[in-house]
């Protein structure tokens, strides 16, 4: 099932990326992950839940490639039951357009809805039930 992120989804992910990175000028790119257990042809997806047999999605996948934020905005496939895990790479933007990787932010969908956003070193930053765990 193809899912196009809502305006709210995008705002939540970007707010968490800013907070987790500690920078206001950022570039956010979704990662394309590869199932490392598949040995014939690379099985890749923006949605980790589509290619992983691990419930958390990290133990049998690795980064394969990067995409632009606009590719994420254009939409991605969820699992048939509406699950999604997207791994975002967050870069600070220097004055001349140089980028430096600062952190990762991961967004989780269940039943076709964004339910949680976590940040590397920041833990759970937003949940559908509680909202932000930090002051915006």
Q: DSSP letter string over 30-62?
A: EEEEEETT--SS--EES-HHHH-SSTTS-TTEE
DSSP 23: -
Report if residue 31 sits inside a domain.
yes
The pLDDT of residue 56 is above 80: no
Return the SS3 of 20: helix
**Does pTM surpass 0.95?**
no
Q: What is the mean pLDDT of residues 91-118?
A: 93
Q: How many domains does the chain have?
A: 1
pLDDT grade for 40, boundaries at 50, 70 and 90: low
Is 39 part of any domain?
Answer: yes
Q: Is residue 111 in some structural domain? A: yes
- Structural domain that includes position 28: 2-131
Residue 136 domain-assigned (yes or no): no
Residue 113 has pLDDT above 70, yes or no: yes
Whether the Cβ atoms of residue 41 and residue 35 lie closer than 8 Å to each other: no
Please report whether residue 89 resides in a domain. yes
DSSP H stretches of helix in 1-136: 7-21, 48-51, 69-74
94 falls within a domain: yes
């Amino acid at each position: 099932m193809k899912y196009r992120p809502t305006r709210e989804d995008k705002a939540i992910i970007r707010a968490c990326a800013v907070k987790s990175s500690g920078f206001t000028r950022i570039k956010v790119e979704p990662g394309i992950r590869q199932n490392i257990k598949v040995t014939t042809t690379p099985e890749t997806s923006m949605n980790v839940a589509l290619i992983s047999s691990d419930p958390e999605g990290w133990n049998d996948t690795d980064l394969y490639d990067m995409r632009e934020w606009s590719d994420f905005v254009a939409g991605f496939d969820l699992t048939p039951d509406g699950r999604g895990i997207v791994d975002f790479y967050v870069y600070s933007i220097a004055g001349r357009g140089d980028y430096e990787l600062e952190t990762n932010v991961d967004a989780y969908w269940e039943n076709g809805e964004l339910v949680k956003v976590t940040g590397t070193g920041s833990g759970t930053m937003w949940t559908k039930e509680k909202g932000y765990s930090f002051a915006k």
